[in-house]
């Protein structure tokens, strides 16, 4: 070998094709299912919210239909007791006749309402506390006024006035039940009860007006 002659240079090995990919930072590949739990949780939350809203709405609708019916049942029972207890205290033969017929009406009506109440899942013996308390207060107030009237020898006129008002209130409750209930049996019951009660309410109102 001549002194100035250099050894042949060696050709560097070829660079692998995927070299850049090998030295580049590796990114973790996300699975297409990686966001699924979050989506399911979101959908589940929405469904729970919808169920809660529906439950509240249905409960409000049910209460709006149930309260007038319970009020009607409670008022029928309350008024029947007052009518029966007052019969022996009346002096007017006209009032005694009207009141006697009214007592029979309430006996039959409180019997006939049992089936429509059962169809709605309501028991006349187990009304809601609010309705029971209200009816108890109403009965107490009426009985107090009637007793004061009896002591003042003014029972007939006071009783006629009280019954004219109470029966008118009862007719209004019946109308409300008819407007709000979805029960066919309750609608049929109320229609007959309303028609049969009107003559008694009118008779008491006319007696009260004549006495004044």
Q: Is residue 23 part of a domain?
A: no
Q: Is residue 109 part of a domain?
A: yes
Q: Is residue 115 part of a domain?
A: yes
For 78-125, how does the pLDDT look when each residue is reduced to its tens digit (9 = 90+)? 999 999 999 999 999 999 999 999 999 999 999 999 999 999 999 999
For 162-197, how does the pLDDT look when each residue is reduced to its tens digit (9 = 90+)? 999 999 999 999 999 999 999 999 999 999 999 999
Q: Is residue 36 part of a domain?
A: no
What's the predicted TM-score (pTM) here? Answer: 0.71
For 26-39, how does the pLDDT look when each residue is reduced to its tens digit (9 = 90+)? 555 555 555 667 77
Q: Is residue 47 part of a domain?
A: no
**CATH code of the domain in which 94 resides:** 1.20.1260
Total structural domains in the chain?
1
Q: Residue 29 in 3-state DSSP?
A: coil
Question: Which residues 6+ apart lie within 8 Å of 159 measured at CB?
Answer: 86, 89, 90, 95, 146, 149
Q: Is residue 144 part of a domain?
A: yes
DSSP symbol at 89: G
For 114-163, how does the pLDDT look when each residue is reduced to its tens digit (9 = 90+)? 999 999 999 999 999 999 999 999 999 999 999 999 999 999 999 999 99
Q: Is residue 106 part of a domain?
A: yes
The pLDDT score that the predictor gives to residue 107 is 97
Name the residue range of residue 133's domain. 70-211
What is the spatial distance between Cα 93 and Cα 91, in angstroms, rounded to a whole number? 6
The pLDDT score that the predictor gives to residue 38 is 73
Q: Is residue 8 part of a domain?
A: no
What are the tokens at 5?
């002659």
- Confidence at 55, pLDDT banded by 50, 70, 90: very low
């Amino acid at each position: 070998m001549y002194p100035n002659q250099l050894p042949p240079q060696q050709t560097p090995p070829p660079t692998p094709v995927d070299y850049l990919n090998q030295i580049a930072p590796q990114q973790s590949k996300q699975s297409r299912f990686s966001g699924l739990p979050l989506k399911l949780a979101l959908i589940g939350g929405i469904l729970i919210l919808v169920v809660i809203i529906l439950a509240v709405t249905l409960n409000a609708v049910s209460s709006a239909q149930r309260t007038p019916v319970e009020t009607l049942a409670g008022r029928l029972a309350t008024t029947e007791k007052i009518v029966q207890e007052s019969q022996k205290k009346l002096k007017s033969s006209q009032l005694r006749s009207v009141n006697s017929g009214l007592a029979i009406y309430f006996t039959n009506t409180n019997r006939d309402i049992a089936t429509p109440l059962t169809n709605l899942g309501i028991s006349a013996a187990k009304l809601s506390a609010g309705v029971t308390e209200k009816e108890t207060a109403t009965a107490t107030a009426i009985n107090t006024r009637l007793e004061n009237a009896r002591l003042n020898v003014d029972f007939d006129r006071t009783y006629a006035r009280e019954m004219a008002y109470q029966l008118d209130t009862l007719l209004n409750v019946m109308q409300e039940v008819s407007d709000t209930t979805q029960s066919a049996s309750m609608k049929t019951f109320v229609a007959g009860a309303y028609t049969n009660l009107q003559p008694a309410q009118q008779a008491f109102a006319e007696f009260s007006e004549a006495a004044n």
